[in-house]
Structure 1
Protein backbone atom coordinates (compact mmCIF):
# COMPACT_ATOMS: atom_id res chain seq x y z
CA UNK A 1 0.00 0.00 0.00
CA UNK A 2 2.85 2.36 0.84
CA UNK A 3 4.51 1.58 -2.50
CA UNK A 4 1.33 2.51 -4.36
CA UNK A 5 1.15 5.80 -2.49
CA UNK A 6 4.76 6.67 -3.33
CA UNK A 7 4.28 5.86 -7.03
CA UNK A 8 1.08 7.92 -7.18
CA UNK A 9 2.79 10.87 -5.49
CA UNK A 10 5.66 10.73 -7.98
CA UNK A 11 3.26 10.67 -10.93
CA UNK A 12 1.27 13.63 -9.57
CA UNK A 13 4.47 15.61 -9.00
CA UNK A 14 5.70 14.91 -12.55
CA UNK A 15 2.36 15.85 -14.10
CA UNK A 16 2.11 19.17 -12.25
CA UNK A 17 5.70 20.25 -12.86
CA UNK A 18 6.09 23.56 -14.70
CA UNK A 19 9.05 24.19 -16.93
CA UNK A 20 10.55 27.66 -16.49
CA UNK A 21 11.78 28.76 -19.85
CA UNK A 22 13.77 31.86 -20.52
CA UNK A 23 11.62 34.67 -21.83
CA UNK A 24 12.29 37.82 -23.82
CA UNK A 25 13.90 39.53 -20.85
CA UNK A 26 12.92 41.86 -18.15
CA UNK A 27 13.38 45.38 -19.57
CA UNK A 28 12.13 47.18 -16.50
CA UNK A 29 14.79 45.65 -14.33
CA UNK A 30 17.67 46.35 -16.67
CA UNK A 31 18.43 42.72 -17.21
CA UNK A 32 19.51 41.55 -20.64
CA UNK A 33 17.26 39.21 -22.50
CA UNK A 34 18.17 35.57 -22.46
CA UNK A 35 18.58 33.74 -25.71
CA UNK A 36 15.50 31.90 -26.82
CA UNK A 37 15.44 28.12 -26.49
CA UNK A 38 14.35 25.98 -29.31
CA UNK A 39 10.71 25.01 -29.26
CA UNK A 40 9.90 21.79 -27.46
CA UNK A 41 7.58 19.27 -28.96
CA UNK A 42 4.13 19.18 -27.50
CA UNK A 43 3.88 16.99 -24.44
CA UNK A 44 1.31 14.27 -24.58
CA UNK A 45 -0.19 12.96 -21.47
CA UNK A 46 0.75 9.40 -20.76
CA UNK A 47 -1.51 7.28 -18.68
CA UNK A 48 -0.04 5.94 -15.48
CA UNK A 49 1.42 2.50 -15.97
CA UNK A 50 -0.82 -0.30 -14.98
CA UNK A 51 0.83 -2.22 -12.21
CA UNK A 52 -0.14 -5.75 -11.37
CA UNK A 53 -2.41 -6.02 -8.38
CA UNK A 54 -0.66 -7.12 -5.25
CA UNK A 55 -2.40 -9.71 -3.19
CA UNK A 56 -1.70 -9.75 0.48
CA UNK A 57 -0.98 -13.14 1.92
CA UNK A 58 -1.45 -13.72 5.60
CA UNK A 59 1.12 -15.72 7.47
CA UNK A 60 0.12 -19.34 7.67
CA UNK A 61 -1.84 -20.00 10.81
CA UNK A 62 -0.81 -22.70 13.17
CA UNK A 63 -3.44 -25.34 12.94
CA UNK A 64 -4.02 -27.20 16.15
CA UNK A 65 -4.04 -30.91 15.62
CA UNK A 66 -7.10 -32.43 17.10
CA UNK A 67 -6.26 -35.67 18.82
CA UNK A 68 -8.21 -38.54 17.50
CA UNK A 69 -10.42 -40.01 20.16
CA UNK A 70 -9.08 -43.17 21.68
CA UNK A 71 -10.88 -46.24 20.52
CA UNK A 72 -13.64 -47.06 22.93
CA UNK A 73 -13.73 -50.58 24.28
CA UNK A 74 -17.21 -51.30 25.64
CA UNK A 75 -15.94 -54.38 27.48
CA UNK A 76 -12.39 -53.71 28.74
CA UNK A 77 -10.57 -56.72 30.16
CA UNK A 78 -7.22 -57.34 31.82
CA UNK A 79 -5.64 -59.64 34.36
CA UNK A 80 -2.35 -59.53 36.28
CA UNK A 81 -0.65 -61.04 39.31
CA UNK A 82 2.71 -61.07 41.09
CA UNK A 83 4.39 -62.77 44.04
CA UNK A 84 7.39 -61.68 46.12
CA UNK A 85 9.24 -64.14 48.38
CA UNK A 86 12.51 -62.54 49.52
CA UNK A 87 14.20 -64.78 52.07
CA UNK A 88 16.94 -62.28 52.91
CA UNK A 89 14.53 -59.52 53.98
CA UNK A 90 11.54 -61.64 54.91
CA UNK A 91 9.34 -59.73 52.44
CA UNK A 92 6.48 -62.02 51.40
CA UNK A 93 3.54 -60.56 49.50
CA UNK A 94 1.34 -61.21 46.48
CA UNK A 95 -1.43 -59.61 44.44
CA UNK A 96 -3.79 -60.68 41.69
CA UNK A 97 -6.47 -58.67 39.89
CA UNK A 98 -8.77 -59.05 36.90
CA UNK A 99 -11.25 -56.79 35.15
CA UNK A 100 -14.19 -57.68 32.96
CA UNK A 101 -16.18 -54.69 31.77
CA UNK A 102 -16.77 -52.33 34.68
CA UNK A 103 -16.24 -54.98 37.38
CA UNK A 104 -12.80 -55.33 39.01
CA UNK A 105 -12.01 -58.22 41.36
CA UNK A 106 -8.78 -58.91 43.15
CA UNK A 107 -6.91 -59.87 46.29
CA UNK A 108 -3.57 -59.15 47.91
CA UNK A 109 -1.76 -60.60 50.89
CA UNK A 110 1.29 -59.80 52.99
CA UNK A 111 3.05 -61.00 56.11
CA UNK A 112 2.71 -58.50 58.95
CA UNK A 113 5.46 -57.88 61.55
CA UNK A 114 3.59 -59.92 64.17
CA UNK A 115 3.80 -63.01 61.94
CA UNK A 116 0.21 -63.12 60.68
CA UNK A 117 -0.81 -63.09 57.04
CA UNK A 118 -3.21 -60.31 56.07
CA UNK A 119 -5.43 -61.17 53.09
CA UNK A 120 -7.59 -58.50 51.45
CA UNK A 121 -10.18 -59.52 48.86
CA UNK A 122 -11.97 -56.73 47.01
CA UNK A 123 -14.61 -56.10 44.34
CA UNK A 124 -15.35 -52.77 42.64
CA UNK A 125 -18.27 -52.08 40.31
CA UNK A 126 -20.34 -49.04 39.31
CA UNK A 127 -23.37 -50.14 41.35
CA UNK A 128 -21.86 -51.04 44.74
CA UNK A 129 -18.54 -49.15 44.60
CA UNK A 130 -15.41 -50.56 46.25
CA UNK A 131 -15.90 -53.30 48.85
CA UNK A 132 -13.12 -55.12 50.63
CA UNK A 133 -13.01 -58.04 53.08
CA UNK A 134 -9.91 -58.26 55.31
CA UNK A 135 -8.87 -61.54 56.96
CA UNK A 136 -5.92 -62.50 59.13
CA UNK A 137 -4.45 -65.97 59.30
CA UNK A 138 -1.69 -67.16 61.61
CA UNK A 139 1.19 -68.83 59.86
CA UNK A 140 3.18 -71.76 61.27
CA UNK A 141 6.63 -70.20 60.98
CA UNK A 142 7.33 -66.60 61.68
CA UNK A 143 8.57 -65.12 58.43
CA UNK A 144 10.65 -62.30 59.81
CA UNK A 145 13.22 -62.97 62.48
CA UNK A 146 13.52 -60.17 65.02
CA UNK A 147 16.58 -58.02 64.64
CA UNK A 148 18.72 -57.68 67.77
CA UNK A 149 18.82 -54.14 69.02
CA UNK A 150 22.22 -52.67 69.75
CA UNK A 151 22.08 -50.34 72.71
CA UNK A 152 25.62 -49.02 72.66
CA UNK A 153 28.74 -49.88 70.75
CA UNK A 154 31.22 -52.14 72.51
CA UNK A 155 34.05 -50.23 74.20
CA UNK A 156 37.30 -50.14 72.31
CA UNK A 157 40.12 -51.65 74.31
CA UNK A 158 43.60 -50.70 73.34
CA UNK A 159 46.18 -53.44 73.29
CA UNK A 160 49.60 -52.66 74.72
CA UNK A 161 52.02 -51.42 72.13
CA UNK A 162 54.97 -53.69 71.78
CA UNK A 163 58.03 -51.99 70.49
CA UNK A 164 60.73 -53.78 68.66
CA UNK A 165 63.93 -53.73 70.70
CA UNK A 166 66.89 -52.33 68.86
CA UNK A 167 70.40 -52.05 70.09
CA UNK A 168 71.32 -48.77 71.69
CA UNK A 169 72.68 -46.26 69.28
CA UNK A 170 75.88 -44.67 70.31
CA UNK A 171 76.17 -40.96 69.93
CA UNK A 172 77.36 -39.75 66.58
CA UNK A 173 80.35 -37.46 66.63
CA UNK A 174 79.16 -33.95 67.44
CA UNK A 175 75.67 -35.06 68.67
CA UNK A 176 74.72 -35.92 72.20
CA UNK A 177 73.49 -39.43 73.00
CA UNK A 178 69.73 -39.92 73.16
CA UNK A 179 69.93 -40.82 76.79
CA UNK A 180 71.55 -37.47 77.48
CA UNK A 181 68.53 -35.51 76.13
CA UNK A 182 65.86 -34.72 78.74
CA UNK A 183 62.81 -37.00 78.45
CA UNK A 184 64.38 -39.28 75.83
CA UNK A 185 66.47 -41.44 78.08
CA UNK A 186 64.08 -44.38 77.97
CA UNK A 187 64.92 -47.17 75.56
CA UNK A 188 61.29 -48.13 74.61
CA UNK A 189 60.56 -44.56 73.55
CA UNK A 190 63.77 -44.35 71.59
CA UNK A 191 62.98 -47.72 70.03
CA UNK A 192 59.52 -46.55 68.98
CA UNK A 193 61.01 -43.47 67.33
CA UNK A 194 63.77 -45.31 65.51
CA UNK A 195 62.16 -48.48 64.28
CA UNK A 196 63.13 -50.28 61.16
Structure 2
Protein backbone atom coordinates (compact mmCIF):
# COMPACT_ATOMS: atom_id res chain seq x y z
CA UNK A 1 0.00 0.00 0.00
CA UNK A 2 2.85 2.34 0.79
CA UNK A 3 4.37 1.64 -2.62
CA UNK A 4 1.15 2.68 -4.37
CA UNK A 5 1.02 5.90 -2.32
CA UNK A 6 4.66 6.75 -3.17
CA UNK A 7 4.13 6.03 -6.88
CA UNK A 8 0.93 8.15 -6.92
CA UNK A 9 2.68 11.11 -5.24
CA UNK A 10 5.63 10.83 -7.65
CA UNK A 11 3.28 10.76 -10.67
CA UNK A 12 1.36 13.78 -9.35
CA UNK A 13 4.61 15.69 -8.82
CA UNK A 14 5.77 14.96 -12.33
CA UNK A 15 2.42 16.04 -13.84
CA UNK A 16 2.39 19.45 -12.11
CA UNK A 17 3.44 22.37 -14.36
CA UNK A 18 6.94 23.56 -13.61
CA UNK A 19 7.06 26.86 -15.59
CA UNK A 20 4.94 29.98 -15.55
CA UNK A 21 1.32 29.55 -16.66
CA UNK A 22 0.30 30.70 -20.13
CA UNK A 23 -2.33 33.40 -20.46
CA UNK A 24 -3.47 35.25 -17.37
CA UNK A 25 -0.93 35.81 -14.63
CA UNK A 26 -2.47 36.55 -11.23
CA UNK A 27 0.45 38.75 -10.19
CA UNK A 28 1.69 40.75 -13.22
CA UNK A 29 5.01 42.41 -12.84
CA UNK A 30 5.15 46.06 -13.96
CA UNK A 31 8.33 47.66 -15.15
CA UNK A 32 8.13 51.32 -16.09
CA UNK A 33 9.40 52.28 -19.53
CA UNK A 34 12.98 53.53 -19.57
CA UNK A 35 13.32 57.27 -19.69
CA UNK A 36 15.58 58.83 -22.28
CA UNK A 37 17.02 62.27 -21.95
CA UNK A 38 15.77 64.26 -24.92
CA UNK A 39 18.39 66.32 -26.66
CA UNK A 40 17.51 68.96 -29.23
CA UNK A 41 17.39 67.65 -32.78
CA UNK A 42 20.43 68.50 -34.87
CA UNK A 43 20.99 67.25 -38.42
CA UNK A 44 21.80 68.26 -41.97
CA UNK A 45 21.29 66.47 -45.30
CA UNK A 46 21.17 67.08 -49.03
CA UNK A 47 20.73 65.13 -52.27
CA UNK A 48 20.36 65.86 -55.97
CA UNK A 49 19.32 63.88 -59.05
CA UNK A 50 20.04 65.01 -62.62
CA UNK A 51 19.25 62.47 -65.35
CA UNK A 52 18.98 64.20 -68.78
CA UNK A 53 17.66 61.16 -70.72
CA UNK A 54 14.59 60.91 -68.47
CA UNK A 55 14.27 64.65 -67.79
CA UNK A 56 14.56 64.14 -64.03
CA UNK A 57 16.22 67.06 -62.24
CA UNK A 58 15.40 67.53 -58.56
CA UNK A 59 17.07 67.91 -55.17
CA UNK A 60 16.61 68.79 -51.52
CA UNK A 61 18.74 70.17 -48.71
CA UNK A 62 17.76 70.77 -45.08
CA UNK A 63 19.42 71.54 -41.78
CA UNK A 64 17.97 71.65 -38.28
CA UNK A 65 19.30 72.90 -34.99
CA UNK A 66 16.82 72.48 -32.14
CA UNK A 67 13.55 74.21 -33.02
CA UNK A 68 14.96 76.02 -36.08
CA UNK A 69 14.81 74.30 -39.48
CA UNK A 70 15.73 75.72 -42.86
CA UNK A 71 16.00 74.18 -46.27
CA UNK A 72 15.08 74.21 -49.92
CA UNK A 73 14.09 71.83 -52.66
CA UNK A 74 13.77 72.12 -56.42
CA UNK A 75 12.24 70.22 -59.31
CA UNK A 76 12.26 70.52 -63.10
CA UNK A 77 8.63 70.95 -64.17
CA UNK A 78 7.18 69.34 -67.32
CA UNK A 79 6.74 72.80 -68.89
CA UNK A 80 10.51 73.41 -68.75
CA UNK A 81 10.65 75.71 -65.69
CA UNK A 82 12.65 75.01 -62.55
CA UNK A 83 10.56 75.40 -59.38
CA UNK A 84 12.45 76.14 -56.16
CA UNK A 85 10.95 76.26 -52.67
CA UNK A 86 12.94 77.80 -49.80
CA UNK A 87 11.46 77.30 -46.33
CA UNK A 88 12.04 77.93 -42.63
CA UNK A 89 10.41 76.69 -39.46
CA UNK A 90 11.20 78.36 -36.13
CA UNK A 91 9.59 76.72 -33.11
CA UNK A 92 5.81 76.86 -33.37
CA UNK A 93 5.80 79.57 -36.05
CA UNK A 94 4.74 77.13 -38.75
CA UNK A 95 6.09 76.35 -42.19
CA UNK A 96 7.07 79.54 -44.04
CA UNK A 97 7.86 79.00 -47.72
CA UNK A 98 8.92 81.13 -50.67
CA UNK A 99 8.30 79.62 -54.12
CA UNK A 100 10.24 80.87 -57.16
CA UNK A 101 10.45 79.79 -60.81
CA UNK A 102 13.31 79.99 -63.27
CA UNK A 103 12.82 79.90 -67.02
CA UNK A 104 9.76 80.32 -69.17
CA UNK A 105 6.96 77.79 -69.59
CA UNK A 106 6.99 76.05 -72.99
CA UNK A 107 4.09 74.10 -74.41
CA UNK A 108 5.24 72.44 -77.65
CA UNK A 109 2.65 71.12 -80.09
CA UNK A 110 1.83 67.52 -79.37
CA UNK A 111 3.38 65.15 -81.90
CA UNK A 112 2.28 61.55 -81.33
CA UNK A 113 5.14 59.19 -82.04
CA UNK A 114 2.97 56.10 -82.50
CA UNK A 115 0.47 55.68 -85.30
CA UNK A 116 -1.29 52.32 -85.14
CA UNK A 117 -1.81 50.52 -88.45
CA UNK A 118 -4.00 47.48 -89.03
CA UNK A 119 -2.03 44.25 -88.99
CA UNK A 120 -4.72 42.01 -90.40
CA UNK A 121 -5.96 41.17 -93.88
CA UNK A 122 -9.73 41.35 -94.15
CA UNK A 123 -11.44 38.18 -95.41
CA UNK A 124 -13.27 38.35 -98.75
CA UNK A 125 -16.97 39.09 -98.53
CA UNK A 126 -19.26 36.29 -99.75
CA UNK A 127 -21.72 37.45 -102.39
CA UNK A 128 -24.09 34.71 -103.53
CA UNK A 129 -24.94 34.41 -107.22
CA UNK A 130 -28.66 34.71 -107.88
CA UNK A 131 -30.40 31.60 -109.13
CA UNK A 132 -33.26 32.08 -111.57
CA UNK A 133 -35.49 29.41 -112.43
Tell me if TM exceeds 0.5.
yes
Alpha-carbon deviation of 1:157? 5.9
Instruction: Report which of the two has the higher share of strand.
Output: 2
Q: Which TM-score applies when normalising by structure 1?
A: 0.42
Residues 90 and 150 of structure 1, relative CA distance in 2, 3 Å threshold: same
Alpha-carbon deviation of 1:84? 1.1
Alpha-carbon deviation of 1:131? 0.4
Q: Does structure 1 residue 128 correspond to structure 2 residue 93?
A: yes
Q: Which TM-score applies when normalising by structure 2?
A: 0.60
- Which residue of 1 is the match for residue 36 of structure 2? 70
Alpha-carbon deviation of 1:119? 0.3
Give the root-mean-square deviation of aligned CA atoms: 2.8
After TM superposition, where is structure 1 displaced by more than 4 Å over at least 4 residues in a row? 145-148
Structure 1 residue runs without a partner (length 5+): 1-58, 159-196
Higher relative CO (Cα under 8 Å, sequence separation at least 6) belongs to 2
Alpha-carbon deviation of 1:86? 2.1
Give me the whole-angstrom Cα distance separating, in 2, the residues matched to 1:116 and 1:71: 46
Larger Rg: 1
Residues 105 and 64 of structure 1, relative CA distance in 2, 3 Å threshold: same
- Which residue of 1 is the match for residue 52 of structure 2? 87
